[in-house]
Amino acid sequence: MRRLIQGGRVIDPAAGIDRIADLAIADGRIVGLDMADFQPDERIDARGLSVIPGLVDLAARLREPGQEHKATVASECRAAAAGGITTVCAMPDTVPPIDSPADVRLVRQKGRNAHAARVAVIGALTQGLDGHHLTEMAALRDAGCVAVSNALHPLASPLILRRALEYAASLDLIVVVQPLERALMPEGCAHEGPVASRLGLPGIPVAAETAALGQILALVEQTGARVHFGRLSSAAGVRALQRAIADGLPVSGDVAAHQLFLTEMDVADFNALCHVLPPLRNSRDLEALRAGVADGTLCAICSDHQPHEDDAKLMPFPATEPGISSLETLLPLCLRLVDEGQLTLPEAIARVTCRPARALGLRAGSLAAGAAADVCVFDADAEWTLDVEQLHSRGRNTPFQGWALRGRVRHTLVRGEPVYQSSADSDPHA
């Protein structure tokens, strides 16, 4: 099939393109811009809309296998497509964890069967995420894993971490780490600060993040392993990453979109929808995270999508399960950063396309000729109010219910084929 996306504002930060143009697609790949002799089978009218590479989300829980009562690979891939995401990186902490080539192939096949967003699998760093026994990383890589991670599960010792980094480095495999030193946060569920103290909630100090960062960075320097730090939450964490990058270490980092808008004050009424890990910190941390995104220290903004069933958020705050359903708010929240003057539109698009793709070495995030035709067409001016009942994800657990947002996805294409389409007339949010 040959398609022509006509008259849209094409924004491709990877190529430095930002202009009105026609985008030609054939056989699942980008042909080029303004191809005078291109004869399409189908035309997509994008006048007044923005045309960008499909979003690349570095962290999402698809809940399958094992937690289908929360979500499935198919349901969340469809939700991702509705959010303009064409590549979603699946974290390994399923039940059981994704720690074998068979598991990797199963999740990838379920992703293909969904005919929606692509699934890039991040495999487990240790068997069963037990923190003791390393997985067969070579086999995981050969099965298609793009990186390895122990997610939020701790490693038994720094020696295990060192061995893991050495093994990954020998395979040129990226290790994704969410830095949290568990020994410093026993039963912690909220930022260690005045709000947690007033509510009587066990706190998680900033040092839990920086202590883990310091240990990992020391081992990165020794092993040369490539490490991506996921979901940083603090000003001190951003500074540590900034110094490491300046020292030439092979590291990168991202932040979850909700960390750029919410603080510890949002849990002040025991709002379990704001129970996340790492916790929401204070306003100074939020501003430092925004500055880190703006100056490129944090190269990517991810969804950190964690869909839950309703009951998971109905217990007392410490007993609730952490996480936000966030695939469909990733793009609107990035556009809100543009509205608030934190980023230009091309900068915001870069943080969810080419920059995350580059961080994990993914062939995505670009509209260059010959690239896979993963495309998002959205209306940057469409204003809507988030209604959780209209989410495509099975997870309704979002603290952004009722927020006025801007930017609606109209078309999502993967390999040149439509996987999501809406119109201003049919959009229930419009």
Q: Which residues contact 235 (CB under 8 A, 6 or more apart)?
A: 284, 285, 287, 288, 289
Whole-angstrom distance, CA of residue 377 vs CA of residue 47: 10
Whole-angstrom distance, CA of residue 237 vs CA of residue 227: 15
Catalytic residue from among 304, 339, 387, 425: 304
Picking from 159, 109, 83, 80, the residue whose alpha carbon sits closest to that of residue 377 is 83
Question: Alpha-carbon Rg of the chain, whole angstroms?
Answer: 21
For tokens 């067969």, name the residue.
136
Q: Which residues contact 94 (CB under 8 A, 6 or more apart)?
A: 61, 62, 63, 64, 65, 66, 67, 103, 107
Q: Is the peptide bond before 65 cis (omega within 30 degrees of 0)?
A: yes
Query: In this structure, what token pair is assigned to residue 378?
Result: 């959205």
Q: Which residues contact 157 (CB under 8 A, 6 or more apart)?
A: none
Distances in whole angstroms, Cα of residue 198 to Cα of each of 233, 275, 326: 21, 16, 28
3-class secondary-structure state, position 180:
coil
Q: Please indicate whether residue 304 is annotated as part of the active site.
A: yes
| Residue spans of alpha helices (H) in 115-171 | 137-142, 158-170
3-class secondary-structure state, position 142:
helix
- Is residue 115 exposed (0-12), middle (13-18) or buried (19+ Cβ within 10 Å)? middle
Whole-angstrom distance, CA of residue 212 vs CA of residue 297: 18
Do β-strands 404-414 and 375-385 pair in parallel, antiparallel, or remain unpaired?
A: antiparallel
Active site positions, annotated: 304
